[in-house]
Amino acid sequence: MKYRAKIEVSLKPGHSDPEGETVARLLKELGYMVDAVNVSKVYNVLIDAQTLREARSKAEEMAKRLLANPTKDNYTISVEEQK
């Protein structure tokens, strides 16, 4: 079966986010009232697995081993069956 995992990796609070700061500045220059912008990255991964549980556990491993840096990143995972 195929499962679609969405792994969102964001900076932990307190870490500087230069891209977010730049976007916030540009939005203010365009006249928008924004307070803060944080940029995160989403990896949409199509996984082969037997069960949803297995797919979720694989996605968790991928985040830990490759996609997120435990020193500076948080991540969230959602998995659903691919229609």
What span, in angstroms and rounded, lies between the C-alpha atoms of 3 and 83? 9
* Contact between 80 and 59 (Cβ < 8 Å): no
Chain residues 62-81 in contact with its own copies, contact rule CB under 8 A:
62, 65-67
Closest CB to its own copies among residues 10, 71? 10
Q: Between β-strands 73-81 and 2-11, what pairing exists: parallel, antiparallel or unpaired?
A: antiparallel
Q: Is 57 helix (H, G, I), strand (E, B) or coil?
A: helix
Confirm or reject binding of residue 38 to its own copies (CB under 8 A). yes
Confirm or reject binding of residue 35 to its own copies (CB under 8 A). yes
Query: What's the min distance (Å) between Cβ of 26 and its own copies?
Result: 6
| H or E segment to which residue 69 belongs | none
Binding site for its own copies (CB under 8 A): 2, 8, 10, 20, 23-24, 26-27, 30, 32-49, 58, 61-62, 65-67
